[in-house]
Amino acid sequence: MDLEAVQDVKGALCPDFFHGYATAAAQVEGAWNKDGKGQSIWDTFSHTPGKVKDASNADDSVRSYDLYKEDVALMKSYGVNAYRFSLSWSRIIPLGGRNDPVNEQGLQYYSNLIDELLRNGITPFVTLFHWDTPQALEDRYGGALDQSQFVPDFVNYARVCFEHLGPKVRHWITFNEPGVFALAGYAAGVHAPARSSFRELNDVGDSSTEPFTVGHTQLVAHGHVSRLYKTTFQPHQQGTIGITLHGNWSEPWDEADPLDQEAAERAREFEIAWYADPLYRTGDYPASMRAQLGDRLPHFTPEESQLVLGSSEFYGMNTYTSFFVQHKDTPADINDHKGNIFSHDNNKQGVSRGAESDTHWLRYSPWGFRKLLNWVWARYRTPIYITENGTTAQGETAPTPEVLDDKFRIQFFEGYVGELARAVQCDGVDIRSYFAWTFTDNWEWAAGYSDRFGSTFIDYDSPEKTRHPKQSAYYLDKLFTHLISSP
C-alpha cells in the first residue's frame, strides 16, 4: 500500500471532503417482498427467465436490509465519512402512486439506517430513484413514458421522503444516471422495463423515441422535486439537492483528424450534455442532438426550461472508463443514441485505452478521468461530487488471500483518485466527494452476481452472505488520509 504515486498531491483535498461507498437498494437490500414492500420493475425483470446473465435474482441479494448494522460497523472500520445509498420507492409506497398508502415499515427501515450511520459519524447521501420504478406504476400508465402521471407520483414520493427522513438528511439526489435508465431500459432493452425496437429481445418498445421521452420525464420530474425541496423543506432542513449523471471520457481515435475531434465532442454531448446542458447551461438539449434526432427529441416548454435550468445545486458524476471515438461517414441509424460514432479500445496508433477489468466495457483509464473532470468543470462551473467510480477485477471467484489482496482495484483507486486530486490542486476543479462503487459485491443488474465490484467480497452461498474485507477498502482509507488536508 505504497503512496509514492500520490506524493505530489498530499493534502490536496479540502478538510470536509466526503469519501465512502455508493450502493443501490435493488442491488443490496434483498427482502424484496418483506415488511410490506411492493414489487418494482427490477423484481419483475429478475424473475423473467432469460433476462439475467447467470439466471439469478435479487430476492436476497447481500441482505443489507437485515444486516445494515453490521454493514455500517464494517464501513466505519474502513474509515469512511459518508455513504451514498438509494431508497426503494416501492418499499416506501408499495403501489407508487400519489393516492396509494405509505408503508410505515419501509420508512422505519430507512430511518433506522440513517440513525445508525449518524451514530457512527457517517454522513448519509440519499438517492430517491436508482432505476426501480414501482411495477404498479409501470402497469397503470407505462411509468416514465407518461410524464403527466409519473411527475406528480414522483413528487409525492419525494415529499414523503423529505417529510419523514429530511430532518436527518442534508444531501439529496433525485435521479441516478437518468441516461443509463433511459438507454439500457428503453433503447437497448437489456435492463428493466425491457423495452426496445429489437423484437428478438423485447416484445414492445421504440428505441428511436422512448429513451428521449423517458429522459425528458426524468428531467422535468427532477425540476419539480428540486423546487419542492427548495421552497418547502430546505429553509428549515438546510440540505442540498442535485442529480447524478453518468458519463465516460470520449477521446478522438485520430487526434489529428478534425472529424474525430468533432465526433468525440459529439459523443460527450450525446452522453453527458443530453442532461447536463438543460440542467446547468442552457435549459435545452445540445444542438448536435437536435440536428441528428429532430423532433424525436422532446422540446422543453418555456416553463419546463425555466424549471430545470439551475435546479441541481451540484454536479453528481458517475464515471468509470474512457473510449476512443471515430466519426462515421454514413448517416445515423434511427436507433442510434451515441452521436453516430464508432467506439474503439485502441486509438489509431494502437494505444490501448487501458488494462482490462472483469467487465467487457470497463478498462483502467485514469488518463481520461482528469480530462473529463476538466471538461465538465469548464462547461458547467458547478461543484462536482463523484458519486460512483470503481471496477471489477479478474478471477474474483473465492475469498482466497490473493483475491482479498485485490491489487488491480487498489491500482484503479490510486490512479483515479490521484487524478482527481491533481484536477483539484493543479487545474482548480471544485470536487467535493468520492464514492467508490461499491461497498460489497452485489447483484449487478442484468449481469447478476457475475460482476464483483465490491471492496468487500460476499460469499453468496452462505446464509449470512458472509463479508470478507478486501485490501482495497483499507487502501482507500490510507489514500484519503494522505490526500485530505487537516482542518
Q: What's the pLDDT score for residue 2?
A: 82
Tell me the torsion sign for CA atoms 225, 204, 338, 285.
negative
Sign of CA dihedral 372, 376, 382, 388: negative
Clarify whether 271 is annotated catalytic. no
Query: Cell numbers 442529480 label which residue?
Result: 243
Q: What is the pLDDT of residue 1?
A: 65
User: What DSSP letter does each residue of 10-25 carry, written as one string?
Assistant: TT-B-TT-EEEEE--H
H or E segment to which residue 116 belongs: helix 104-119
- pLDDT tens profile 18-60: 999 999 999 999 999 999 999 999 999 999 999 999 999 999 9
H-type helices in 120-146, by residue range? 135-141
Please, which residues have CB within 8 angstroms of residue 134's CB and are 6 or more apart in sequence?
Answer: 38, 39, 40, 41, 89, 90, 93, 94, 95, 96, 97
- Choose the catalytic residue: 116, 271, 388, 414: 388
Cell reading at 103: 408503508
CB 30 within 8 A of CB 59: yes
Nearest Cα to Cα of residue 11 among 406, 400, 421, 357: 421
Which of 3.20.20.80, 3.40.50.150, 3.40.605.10, 3.20.20.60 would CATH assign to domain 4-483? 3.20.20.80
Ranges of the chain whose pLDDT falls below 70? 1
Q: Which residue has the cell 443488474?
A: 445
Active-site residue, 313 included:
no
Could you give the angle at the alpha carbon of 401 between the alpha carbons of 84 and 74, nearest 5°? 30
Q: Which of 446, 425, 437 is nearest to 476 (CA)?
A: 437
Name the pTM for this structure: 0.98
The helix/strand/coil state of 343 is: strand
Spatial contact of 135 and 44, defined as CB atoms under 8 Å apart: yes
> Per the residue annotation, which of 29, 116, 138, 177 is the catalytic one?
177
Instruction: Report the pLDDT value the prediction gives residue 367, as an integer from 0 to 100.
Output: 98
